[in-house]
Structure 1
C-alpha cells in the first residue's frame, strides 16, 4: 500500500511539473496553453503533495520532491499573486465626487449565458435588479434574443444583436446612446465581435469592444484566439476615444496572450490587486478561473466590481461600474511591448485571416 501511495504521489508530482513548465514554452497550441488556466489549483496541489511526500513517501527522493514542489508553488504564485489584495491595484478607485456623478459613470453586466441554457428569467431578473446601463450577453441564439427583448425591451432602447446557433452569438443592449455600431468577424468566419461608440449621460464619449474569441482545444492551435485578442489590443491602442474591452476571452488573466494584450493596448485590468473573480466554471467549484474580463483605459476609474449570482450558465456574470475622469492615471504599468512584438503579432493576424477553416467548437452546444 505504501508503494501504491508513492506511485500516486509521484504521478501527480510529474503532472504538476509538466503543467507548470510546458506553458513557459509559449507554444500556441491548445494542449500547451490550456495548462496556463489552473494555476490557483497548481499552488494548492503542490502544497498538499509536499505534505503527502513528507508523511507518506518512504523513498529517499521525497526530500528532493518536496523542494521541487515548493519551487513549483512559488513559480505559479508569481503569476497569480498580482490578482490578490497583497498586490498594488492596477486601476484606481473612483473618488468622490466622481464616484457619485451619474453623468460620468457607466455600469455593465457581462454574461456568457451558455446557449443551451433556457432559464432566461434568471438573467432578466438579475438585470432588473441591478439596472445596468449596458448588458453584454454572449452565446445567444434567436430564442435568447427573443426572451431578452420580451423581458427587457422596454427598458433598453439601443440593441445590437447577433444571434447564432454556433455558440458565438453576441448581444449588446444599452440605455446609453450608441453611434456607428459595427459587427465584425475580425479573424475567423463565424466568430463575431462588436465595436461601438458610446455616449455617457453627460455627453462624454467612449469606445466599447465586445469580444468572444475561440476557445483553446487540445488538438488545435490557438492562433485564431490569440490573433483576435492581439488585434483588439492594437485597435484599442490607436483609438482616439477612451476604451473598454469586455467579454469572454476564453483566456485567463495571467496568460501569455492576455499579458501581451495589455502591453499592446495599454488597458488596465481592475482585477489586479483586488481578486481573481473567477467566472468559470459555475458548476465545478474546484476548477474555476477568470475567463470573463473587462479592461479599461487609464482615464476610467473603478467604482464597483463583483461576481454576480448564477444564471443557469457554466459562467458567472460579472458586474462593473466605471467612472470616466478627465485625466489618465493608474497604480501600475502594464509593461512595455517586447522588441518586435507588434511586428510578429501583425504577421500572425495576417496569416490567420488568410487561413480557411471552420470556427472551433460550433457544434459543442448541439451535444447538450
Structure 2
C-alpha cells in the first residue's frame, strides 16, 4: 500500500514538473504562466534528484520511461540556465587593465531594491559608503527612505533624482556624475515610474542611463504592463545616439521570454552570460533565489567587476557593476536581432495597456 502511494507521488511530481517546464513555451502573457519560468535552477536540481530516485528505486520498465522523461525535462532547463554559467562563452567583454585603470571613463553602479517596509536605512547607507559607487540607485523608496538616504549621503552625491512613493514603486538616483535631459516617466501604468537621463563621464563622454522597475508577475493578472514596459525601454535604447545602460529590478529572470525579447529589441549585452547567475531575490530564502536585478549595457562598455553585495534587510540583495566606456563596440556574442513584426507586437501590447484604467499591481503589499 505504501509503495503504491509513493509511486503515485513520484509520478505526480514528475507530471507537475513537466507541465511547469513546458507551459512557459506558450508565451502567454500571464503571471501564472510567466512565473513558472523563474525557478529553472531549482527545477533542474529537483529533476536530477528524481532521476537518482528512479534509477535506484523503480523497476526496469517504468525506470526507462521515467529517466527518458526526466532527461527531456532536464535538457529544457539546461538549455536556459547553462548560458549563465562559466560553461558558456561570455557575452560582455572584460576590460583590459588599461581600460579598468582609466578613471575618467569608468563608472561603478550600485543597484538595490530596498523593500519599502524595511527600515534598516543605515545598512544601505553604510554599504554605499563602503563601496563608494559613482552612481547608486534604490527602488521601493518612500519619503522616509529618501530622507534617510539624503541625510546619510548628500555630501557624497551632488546629483539626485528623487521619486518618493508610498506604493512600492518609488525610485531614487544618486550620482557623482553630472546628469542632463532627465525624464521621470510612467511609461505604461500610472504610478510606476522609470528614469531616463544622460550621464557625463569625467572625460566628458556622454551615455544614457535607464532605471526601471516594472510590475511583478502575479497569478491573477496578465504581465502585459511589465512586458510592455521592458520592451519599450529596449526599443528606446536601440535608438539612442549615445551608449546606453539599463538597470533595475525587472521582476523577471535573465532567461525568460520577456528578457530575451528585450535583448533582441535593444541589442544590449548581459554581463551575466558566461559568468554566473548572481541571484538577487529572495535574500531570505536561499533555496528559492533567481536573478531579478539586472544591468544591460551597450557593447562600447567593458566589464570590470560584477558583485552581489551583502543583505541590507531587504528581500533583494544589492548588486554592483563596474564598467569602462571605450571608443569602439565589441562583444563576444550579440543578441539575436528583432524584426518589424516583433516591434509591432510590442507597440500593440503597449497601446492596449495604456487604455486600461487600473491600479499598479502590488501597491498595497508593503502597507
Instruction: Tell me which residue corresponds to 1:307.
Output: 308
Residues 242-301 of structure 1, C-alpha deviations (whole Å, 9 max, x = no match): 000000000000000000000000000000000000000001100110000000000100
Instruction: Tell me which residue corresponds to 1:136.
Output: 137
Q: Does the alignment pair 1:258 with 2:259?
A: yes
2: CA distance, partners of 1:324 / 1:344 = 33
1: CA distance, partners of 2:314 / 2:13 = 31
1: CA distance, partners of 2:345 / 2:322 = 35
Instruction: Tell me which residue corresponds to 2:121.
Output: 120
2: CA distance, partners of 1:228 / 1:48 = 38
CA deviation after TM superposition for structure 1 residue 68, in Å: 0.5
CA deviation after TM superposition for structure 1 residue 65, in Å: 1.3
CA deviation after TM superposition for structure 1 residue 74, in Å: 0.9
User: Which 4+ runs in 1 deviate beyond 6 A?
Assistant: none
Q: Secondary structure of 2:97's match? A: coil
Instruction: Tell me which residue corresponds to 1:151.
Output: 152
2: CA distance, partners of 1:350 / 1:339 = 17
Q: Does the alignment pair 1:324 with 2:325?
A: yes
Instruction: Tell me which residue corresponds to 2:353.
Output: 352
Q: Does the alignment pair 1:74 with 2:75?
A: yes
CA deviation after TM superposition for structure 1 residue 82, in Å: 0.7
2: CA distance, partners of 1:322 / 1:30 = 33
Instruction: Tell me which residue corresponds to 1:209.
Output: 210
Q: Does the alignment pair 1:285 with 2:271?
A: no
Gaps of 5+ in 1: none
Q: Secondary structure of 1:310's match? A: coil
CA deviation after TM superposition for structure 1 residue 339, in Å: 5.5
CA deviation after TM superposition for structure 1 residue 59, in Å: 8.2
| Matched ranges for 1:53-68 at <5 A | 53-58=54-59, 60-68=61-69
Residues 51-83 of structure 1, C-alpha deviations (whole Å, 9 max, x = no match): 112223348423201110011001110011110
2: CA distance, partners of 1:96 / 1:59 = 57
Q: State how many pairs are aligned.
A: 366
Residues 297-334 of structure 1, C-alpha deviations (whole Å, 9 max, x = no match): 00100000010010000000001000000000100020
Q: Secondary structure of 1:61's match? A: helix
| Matched ranges for 1:15-54 at <5 A | 15-54=16-55
Q: Secondary structure of 1:111's match? A: strand
2: CA distance, partners of 1:3 / 1:224 = 46
2: CA distance, partners of 1:30 / 1:340 = 24
> Contact between 1:2 and 1:57, CA under 8 Å: does it hold in 2?
no
Instruction: Tell me which residue corresponds to 1:193.
Output: 194
> Contact between 1:5 and 1:57, CA under 8 Å: does it hold in 2?
no
CA RMSD of aligned residues (A): 1.0
Name the TM-score, length of structure 1 as normaliser: 0.98
Q: Secondary structure of 1:246's match? A: strand
Q: Residues 59 and 87 of structure 1: is their aligned pair in 2 closer, same or farther, counting only changes over 3 Å?
A: closer
2: CA distance, partners of 1:61 / 1:55 = 12
2: CA distance, partners of 1:58 / 1:143 = 62
2: CA distance, partners of 1:141 / 1:180 = 24
Gaps of 5+ in 2: none
1: CA distance, partners of 2:115 / 2:59 = 48
Q: Secondary structure of 1:122's match? A: helix
2: CA distance, partners of 1:120 / 1:10 = 48
Residues 10-40 of structure 1, C-alpha deviations (whole Å, 9 max, x = no match): 1211111011110010000001000000000
1: CA distance, partners of 2:191 / 2:327 = 38
2: CA distance, partners of 1:219 / 1:98 = 48
- More deviation in 333-342 or 224-233? 333-342
Q: Secondary structure of 2:258's match? A: helix
Instruction: Tell me which residue corresponds to 1:230.
Output: 231
2: CA distance, partners of 1:59 / 1:214 = 48
CA deviation after TM superposition for structure 1 residue 4, in Å: 2.2
